[in-house]
Amino acid sequence: MIRLEGVHKYYGNLHVLKGIDLTVASGEKLVIIGPSGSGKSTLIRSMNLLERPSEGKIIVDGIDITAPKAPITNVRQSVAMVFQQFNLYPHKTVLENVTLAPILVKKVPRKEAEESGMAFLERVGLKDKAFAYPSQLSGGQQQRVAIARALNMRPKIILFDEPTSALDPEMIQEVLDVMVSLANEGITMVVVTHEMGFARKVADRVIFVDGGEIIEEGPPEHFFKNPNHERTKMFLSRIMH
């Protein structure tokens, strides 16, 4: 579903991604872990061209999205993203947030977008908040709206960049529960997270990124039982408690 070949990213002189080769299979759940500043966001954001690689190729569902004339709008439709900071439109209702992109970008008729939008809001447990504004919701509820918004684009892939890092501890589980239920439905998911319980439960594979490189990868059990690299061990010992 996704293939990165020799991906490098520079911000000026800063070499942030240093030759990433990575394949994500259709339906796979990939978890990315690594210290702050290691390039995780840059890596995941490059998968829908929110960041453009300086070098290398990214193929999504058979399309080279890094090609000069790649259909970026189509790519953004099939690869949805959920951010740490929710990024909802504050002056639009929950339902408007969930239907805006399908109506504007995908040209879905309003009625249809609203019907599916309500169904996805119900899935994330927020049907009764459809006409509320984001500021009237808790962080956990806002993040669940953001997930419903992503789903209403009917994406092939959903990218999550630390979706629970901005949440109060008591709200983390409600968002993880929604993510677990999505994972069970077969959508391709790439998730940057330090929630190791989530990784253990749903990840097919975990990659550890440090200094812009993939240091180690394997199934979650590998990471928890016997990581190979000293850097991985140190990182895990810091985040597990």
Ligand X SMILES: Nc1ncnc2c1ncn2[C@@H]1O[C@H](COP(=O)(O)OP(=O)(O)O)[C@@H](O)[C@H]1O
Q: Where does this chain bind ligand X (CB under 6 A)?
A: 11, 14, 16, 34, 36-42
CB of 84 to ligand X, least distance (A): 9
Q: What is the DSSP string of 115-142?
A: HHHHHHHHHTT-GGGTTS-GGGS-HHHH
Compare residues 16 and 190 and give the one whose CB is closer to ligand X.
16
Cβ atoms of 75 and 112 closer than 8 Å:
no
CB of 238 to ligand X, least distance (A): 14
Binding partner of residue 11 among ligand X, Mg ion, none, CB cut-off 5 to 8 Å per kind: ligand X
**Residue 228, helix vs strand vs coil:** coil
Q: Is 38 in the site for Mg ion (CB under 5 A)?
A: no
Phi, psi of 156 (to 5 degrees): -85, -25
Tokens encoding 61: 């569902």
Among 22, 32, 41, 126, binds Mg ion (CB under 5 A): 41
Map tokens 């960049």 to a residue.
161
CB of 99 to ligand X, least distance (A): 30
Compare residues 137 and 199 and give the one whose CB is closer to ligand X.
199
CB of 209 to ligand X, least distance (A): 7
Nearest Cα to Cα of residue 1 among 181, 153, 187: 187
Compare residues 94 and 199 and give the one whose CB is closer to Mg ion.
199
Q: What angle do CA 30, 98, 139 make, to 5 degrees?
A: 70
Compare residues 124 and 209 and give the one whose CB is closer to ligand X.
209
Q: Which residues bind Mg ion (CB under 5 A)?
A: 41
